[in-house]
Amino acid sequence: MFYVTNRWLGGTLTNFSTIKKSIKHLKNLEKMSMDGTYEKLTKKEVLRLERRREKMEEVLGGFKEMNVLPGALYVVDPKKEAIAVSEANKLGIPVFAMIDTNCDPDPIDFLIPANDDAFKSIGLITHAFVDAILEGLSEAERITEVEEEQKAVVEPQS
């Protein structure tokens, strides 16, 4: 699962091709730090690259492995993350959001009425949401395996 914990970058979904280039650059910087390329650079250059990598990791780290657009978006505070909700709506991505009394429910596809300011309610609902997703993924995997087994049983008879 992919996540954003700090600031939503405008265009993360609608301008995903550019974001993918930034992710590629971040991976390249990580590779440089691991393969010994930093040893060939001056201390000042290494420091500059490390600062850049840390900043990019903070912003892009949660969706570093994302290659395609997500199938859904879960938002804790849609008032604060209005840009993310707007981008998802433009692309037809369903939005699940915790809605407090200060939020407009119109742009949200699936409402979760809850206090989006309290850490305990955010934690409780987010954990339940993640558990449901993981359960659904394992069930989908199990169904795929059963279908493949049935297909393998049917094919030899033909």
In 93-154, the DSSP E strands lie at 95-99, 110-113
The owner of tokens 């505070």 is 77
**Sheet containing 110-113, strands listed edge to edge, beginning at the edge strand earlier in sequence:** 73-75, 95-99, 110-113
The owner of tokens 């596809």 is 109
In 8-158, the DSSP E strands lie at 73-75, 95-99, 110-113
Residues composing the chain: 158
pTM over 0.85: no
Structure confidence at residue 158 as a pLDDT band (50, 70, 90): low
Total H helices, total E strands in the chain: 4, 3
For the chain, give the percent of residues with pLDDT over 70.
97
The predicted pLDDT at position 107 comes to: 94
Cα dihedral value 122, 103, 2, 129, nearest 10: 50
Task: Summarize pLDDT for 5-59 with one digit per residue, the tens.
Answer: 888 888 999 999 999 999 999 999 999 888 888 888 899 999 999 999 999 999 9
Alpha carbons 89 and 98: distance in angstroms, whole number: 16
Q: Does the structure show a pLDDT above 60 at 141?
A: yes
Greater model confidence, 135 or 116:
135
Q: Does the structure show a pLDDT above 90 at 119?
A: yes
Task: Summarize pLDDT for 79-90 with one digit per residue, the tens.
Answer: 999 999 999 999
Domains and CATH numbers, the chain: 1-69 (1.10.287.610), 73-157 (3.40.50.10490)
Asked whether 99 and 78 are in contact (CB, 8 A), the reply is: yes
Asked whether 60 and 24 are in contact (CB, 8 A), the reply is: no
Structure confidence at residue 151 as a pLDDT band (50, 70, 90): confident
The predicted pLDDT at position 157 comes to: 57
Alpha carbons 95 and 71: distance in angstroms, whole number: 9
The predicted pLDDT at position 112 comes to: 93
